[in-house]
Amino acid sequence: MLPAAKLRIEELSVEERAIYATLKPERLPQHVAIIMDGNGRWAGHRSLKRFIGHQQGASTVQLVMETAARIGLPWLTLYAFSLENNLRRPRAEVSFLMRLLKTYLDANVQRMLDNNVRLRYIGHTGELPDDVQEKMRWAEQATAANTGTTLTLALNYGSRSELVDAFRSLAVEMKQKHINPEHISEEDIHRHLYTAGMPDPDLLIRTSGEMRLSNFLLWQIAYTEIFVTDRLWPDFTGIHLLQAIADYQQRERRYGGLSDNVGEVEENADQIKIVAN
């Protein structure tokens, strides 16, 4: 959680405040990651073109970002455009998404500044069109000094390709510093990921009900709590973000250990006879 002085709870809507009141502020997740899915279905249910669903989805990004900033969520990471989207969607849709990203940045950097949000990106962004990259750099630089929520947009992102990039750059470092492979640690891999310096997500939300990870942050979500909602992304709001956090706070995170209430722990386990089945 960000310092209390930076919280803006009074700016939440009445409904949001009612849910926030049920939360334990000291147990807020540090990092929420979201797979934003269902723009196309949202449009289809209304007999609208898929493009309209994406446009509505971009407005949702702003609403959710604002709620995150108001409650002092330090890290919010959104899967906006995958490598697979880039390769497998019709060119017209990809080029619409690129134009939408530019328009979104133009229209919302001021709102990010008002919310003290710092914007950054992960993914193969160097392969996006030049004009899009230029707009992205402008928005990143404009918000770089902000100290509230860090909003990370995953753009042209794929987790396996992130891991390949990480292993390649780690291999270069090992060669330069003559490091023995036996000395490679998990921390070394973390340092070479696009997310170096960020905490792993505590909570991963996926909208539109699909039970898939879709090549998103595979290394980073080893111990992340997963929340899947049937709600389609354009219908998701700050209220639903807070509901997901409330659900997360009911979970017991064990990181492979034991909970307090799982029966007696045997002190002399090495003396128990094991029956072969």
Residues contributing to the site for ligand FPP (CB under 6 A): 36-41, 54, 57-58, 61, 80-81, 85, 100-101, 104, 153, 208, 233
Q: Which is nearer to ligand FPP, 174 or 239 (CB)?
A: 239
Min CB(217)–ligand FPP separation in Å: 15
Which residue's Cβ lies closest to ligand FPP? Answer: 40
Q: From CA 85, how far away is CA 266, in angstroms rounded?
A: 51
Give the count of beta carbons closer than 10 Å to the beta carbon of residue 16.
Answer: 21
Tokens standing for residue 35: 């797979």
Min CB(125)–ligand FPP separation in Å: 13
Please confirm, yes or no, whether 85 is among the known catalytic residues: yes
Residue 176 burial by CB count (10 A; 0-12/13-18/19+): exposed, middle or buried?
exposed
Q: From CA 277, how far away is CA 272, in angstroms rounded?
A: 15
Please confirm, yes or no, whether 37 is among the known catalytic residues: yes
Q: How many CA atoms lie within 13 A of 249 on its CB side?
A: 18
Q: Which is nearer to ligand FPP, 192 or 206 (CB)?
A: 206
Min CB(42)–ligand FPP separation in Å: 7
Min CB(175)–ligand FPP separation in Å: 38
Among candidates 186, 199, 185, 229, which has minimal Cα distance to 211?
Answer: 229
Q: Are 1 and 25 in contact (CB under 8 A)?
A: yes
Q: From CA 207, how far away is CA 34, in angstroms rounded?
A: 8
Min CB(242)–ligand FPP separation in Å: 19
Instruction: Give the angle 111-148-108 at the CA atoms, nearest 5°.
Output: 15
Tokens standing for residue 246: 């409330």
Q: Which residues are part of the catalytic machinery?
A: 37, 85
